[in-house]
Amino acid sequence: MTQTGANDSVAEPLMMYAGAFHPAIGGETFTSTNPADGSVVARIPFGGAEDAKRAVDAAVEAFPAWSALTAAARARHLHRVADVLESRRDEIARLITREEGKPLHEAQGELQLSIDSLRWYGEEARRAYGSWIPDPLPGRRLLSVRQPVGVCGAIIPWNVPCAMIFRKAAPALAAGCTMVLKPAEATSAVALKVAEAFVEAELPAGVINFVTGKASAIGNVFLTDERIRKISFTGSTEIGRLLLKGAAEQIKRVSMELGGNAPVILFEDCDIEASIRAVAALKYLNAGQACIGANRIYVHDSIYDEVAEGLEKLATAMKVGDGTADGVRMGPLVDFKAVEKVEELVADAVKCGAQIRVGGCRMQGPDYENGSFYAPTVLTDVPASARLNREEIFGPVAALYRFTAEDEVLALANGVEYGLSAYIFTENMDRAIRVSERLETGMVGVNEIRIGAAEAPFGGVKASGLGREGGREGLDEYLETKLIAMRVKD
Ligand code: ADP
């Protein structure tokens, strides 16, 4: 068991598979650190292919009994896991903040989404209906039934380290699948804390298993072991492509939630004040490290200066610091590599002609000494040639572009390889519907930036991915449809 508790001592969690806790077979460990001050949060087992194989063995062994349970019985298990998360709410939220950096109120929101996913999918799987199909032939009956896909491999990133586990595990387990999950290196302690919750809730051994360590070695086991029937991945388009190619060999099912480059459009007829507040909240959420975050902010020429000024004011007033401190609205970036990437993108934009209205540098001062903090930034007059127009910024940099016509801005918004989310701000209902329909993205927020819920389908088109997490559609990802055709004597 781990020693992570209310105090902030260095935790030494173990991997969890076959219902028990294990060090890496090779005995190696690595550390995860607190991005707010560089302190060590946990020493994590550095597993590899052999550890992953044992976890797959456990998931394979658990599958027949788990999938044979009634959906109602599986739902009771998921509710018990949700109960444990509720009882450990503060402890887990605090660990999310220490290891990932997001402010405590955001970590608590993440935990709530985790609990909602467990409860909602537990119930939704009870409605995984098949159908009795009207038959064109006499003497035959056609029946379709829904069955679990099988053993699944899941790979998740660091920016939503807790809820991402449940966005995948809740529908998978509810559907009757079993799972092996690999968290991101940077946030492995959160994942292993969650693994403890599954054990505490007495989920049958092997139904879910957590392996930490070498990503490529563990990923390769998911790709090459024929017993893994599906891979669910959230992360970069680059790694997604690699996994898709690998999955092609054994024709595995896949769900891919990949990169984004969200356009945000402020039309001249928007509620300017409310829109500015919404854009700032979206942009600086998780210090800009969200795949649905605002990447390109298009502002109508007639309101451009007012919006730039409003965003500048909010960015200047934003309290930045250790996410566990009172009143902090934005924490550090996940590590210094992330800071360097943002610095590079901002330097490139400035070289191309963008103006820095506020920020554009690391946070200065004694509170920020060993933390990977970057200041809330607003750039104006960003030219289309800047790299951050095409690339996901993944940092707290609001990049503002000008436009004058609806068709023009739609072409700009759709003119990238990604298609995850988009946001529009307008008080004109016709325009809201027309533009929402023409945006090439999986999700559109209309005067609304909170687009996620356990009940709603989340996912992208184009290079942003395949499949949906959340909602009815999220359960379909873990179900196969089987046709049973029967001869019936009169
Ligand atoms: P990010 O840029 O968000 O870190 P990545 O795609 O690099 O996105 O990482 C997302 C997840 O994919 C992490 O858990 C990471 O360890 C994992 N990952 C990275 N490389 C590979 C790989 N070659 N095979 C399988 N998983 C990988």
* pLDDT one-digit tens code per residue, 384-434: 999 999 999 999 999 999 999 999 999 999 999 999 999 999 999 999 999
Residue-wise DSSP of 392-453: ---SSEEEEEEE--HHHHHHHHH-SSEESEEEEE-S-HHHHHHHHHH--SSEEEES------
Res 337: pLDDT: 97
Mean pLDDT (whole number) for 146-154: 98
Looking at this protein, which amino acid is placed at residue 147?
Q
Catalytic, 249? Answer no
pTM for the structure as a whole: 0.96
- 149 ligand 1 Cβ < 6 A: no
- 334 ligand 1 Cβ < 6 A: no
Cα of 260 from ligand 1 centre, angstroms: 15
Q: Closest residue (by CA) to atom 17 of ligand 1? A: 215
- 184 ligand 1 Cβ < 6 A: yes
> From CA 232, how far away is CA 372, in angstroms rounded?
30
- 239 ligand 1 Cβ < 6 A: yes
* pLDDT one-digit tens code per residue, 47-79: 999 999 999 999 999 999 999 999 999 999 999
- 316 ligand 1 Cβ < 6 A: no
- 453 ligand 1 Cβ < 6 A: no
Question: In which band, very low, low, confident or very high, does the pLDDT at 6 lie, cut at 50, 70 and 90?
Answer: very low
* pLDDT one-digit tens code per residue, 153-188: 999 999 999 999 999 999 999 999 999 999 999 999
Give the CA count within 13 Å in the CB-facing half-sphere of 407: 0
Looking at this protein, which amino acid is placed at residue 203?
L
Res 490: pLDDT: 83
Q: Closest residue (by CA) to atom 11 of ligand 1? A: 157
Residue in 257, 312, 392, 469 annotated catalytic: 257
Flag whether pLDDT at 7 surpasses 60. no
Q: Is 243 left (phi over 0), alpha (psi -120 to 50) or beta?
A: alpha
Cα of 214 from ligand 1 centre, angstroms: 10
Q: Closest residue (by CA) to atom 2 of ligand 1? A: 236
* pLDDT one-digit tens code per residue, 228-245: 999 999 999 999 999 999
> From CA 53, how far away is CA 465, in angstroms rounded?
27
Q: Closest residue (by CA) to atom 15 of ligand 1? A: 184
Q: What mean pLDDT is reported for the chain? A: 97
Catalytic, 106? Answer no
Cα of 236 from ligand 1 centre, angstroms: 7
> From CA 375, how far away is CA 360, in angstroms rounded?
7
Measure the N-to-C terminal CA separation of the chain; round to a whole number of Å.
Answer: 62
Cα of 362 from ligand 1 centre, angstroms: 26
Cα of 119 from ligand 1 centre, angstroms: 28
Mean pLDDT (whole number) for 250-264: 97
Cα of 85 from ligand 1 centre, angstroms: 26
> From CA 306, how far away is CA 193, in angstroms rounded?
46
Res 438: pLDDT: 98
Lowest mean pLDDT among 1-10, 31-40, 137-146, 370-379: 1-10
Question: In which band, very low, low, confident or very high, does the pLDDT at 1 lie, cut at 50, 70 and 90?
Answer: very low
Residue 343, number of CB atoms within 10 A of its CB: 17
Residue in 162, 177, 270, 291 annotated catalytic: 291
Of 155, 234, 238, the residue with max ligand 1 atoms within 8 A of its CB, to mutate for a pocket test, comes to 155
* pLDDT one-digit tens code per residue, 424-475: 999 999 999 999 999 999 999 999 999 999 999 999 999 999 999 999 999 9
Angle between helices 188-200 and 89-100 (to 10 degrees): 160
**260 CB-near residues (< 8 Å, 6+ apart):** 291, 292, 293, 295, 392, 418, 420, 421, 460, 464
Res 8: pLDDT: 74
Alpha helices in 13-151 (DSSP H): 49-68, 71-87, 89-100, 104-124
> From CA 303, how far away is CA 399, in angstroms rounded?
15
Mean pLDDT (whole number) for 275-299: 98
- 155 ligand 1 Cβ < 6 A: yes
* pLDDT one-digit tens code per residue, 209-232: 999 999 999 999 999 999 999 999
Q: Closest residue (by CA) to atom 27 of ligand 1? A: 215
- 338 ligand 1 Cβ < 6 A: no
Res 3: pLDDT: 35
Number of helical H runs and strand E runs in the chain: 15, 22
Mean pLDDT (whole number) for 344-354: 98
- 479 ligand 1 Cβ < 6 A: no
Flag whether pLDDT at 322 surpasses 90. yes
